[in-house]
Amino acid sequence: MTTRLFDLNGRIALVSGASRGIGEAIARLLAEQGAHVIVSSRKLEGCQPVADAIREAGGSAEAHACNVGDMGDIQALFAHIRNAHGRLDICINNGATNPYFGHVLDTDLGAFQKTVDVNIRGYFFMSIEAGKLMREQGKGAIVNTASVNALQPGPLQGIYSITKAAVVNMTQVFAKECGPLGIRCNALLPGLTKTKFAGALFSNEDIYQAAIEKIPLQRHAEPEEMAGAVLYLVSDAASYTNGECIVVDGGLTI
């Protein structure tokens, strides 16, 4: 007997921060499984090539610019989704920021506010708008990309780590309150992954080597190695998985 637990045909999926890295890998995998993917990032020229590549590979996708730190952009994005599709089955909150890399005592207000606006407020209101659409159809799946920094604060990544810890609690809040509506909410906590976003960690040899030494698999991850966990969380295979934080870190946090 064959199983179609991971079949996403007919589902509408939104992936923020999908112009590169983990977000791009997630968008491509969801499309491979049959979802129509709305590829989103701050700038259209960043996400359009990803949507084009998905279509060229035989998938279904569109690109839509949205800075999740801008409330107007969020409202415009969901107005488009409602008008164009009338539903949303999957929402992946992956677009994040980390403008400051340094000692916590030197964090300035600008860096603090930008990180909070995108990583907390952005995820929160993206989830609210997605949840409103999902409530109308009686089901849906939200996945938040957090970080292992939510469990163990990363070196010189104070405010970023704090916001990612907030994302974990936010995930549980939405899981508890929206579960009765048929909406599941879970989180992915990636470990050290080779992305442009994590460039500061890879460019600092001391920090990179210290991290690798703590990882039982003795290597960093590639973005594609994060996408499979997300596919599970949004698929029928995870129909009873709600409020969970799946850590994908090669064993770092053991």
Six-digit token string for 138: 């009686």
* Residue located via tokens 């010189």: 156
Residue 84 in contact with residue 78, Cβ under 8 Å?
A: no
- Distance between CA 14 and CA 8 in Å, rounded? 13
Q: Which residues are catalytic?
A: 160
In this structure, what token pair is assigned to residue 107?
A: 């964090």
The alpha helices in 33-180, defined as continuous H runs, are 44-56, 71-84, 109-116, 123-137, 158-178
Among the listed residues 48, 45, 95, 46, the one whose alpha carbon sits nearest the alpha carbon of residue 69 = 95
Question: Nearest-CA neighbor of 144 among 160, 115, 122?
Answer: 122
Task: Look up residue 130 and give its amino acid.
Answer: A
Chain Cα centroid distance, residue 5 = 21
Task: Extract the tokens encoding 134.
Answer: 């999902």
User: Quick one: which H or E segment has residue 188?
Assistant: strand 183-190
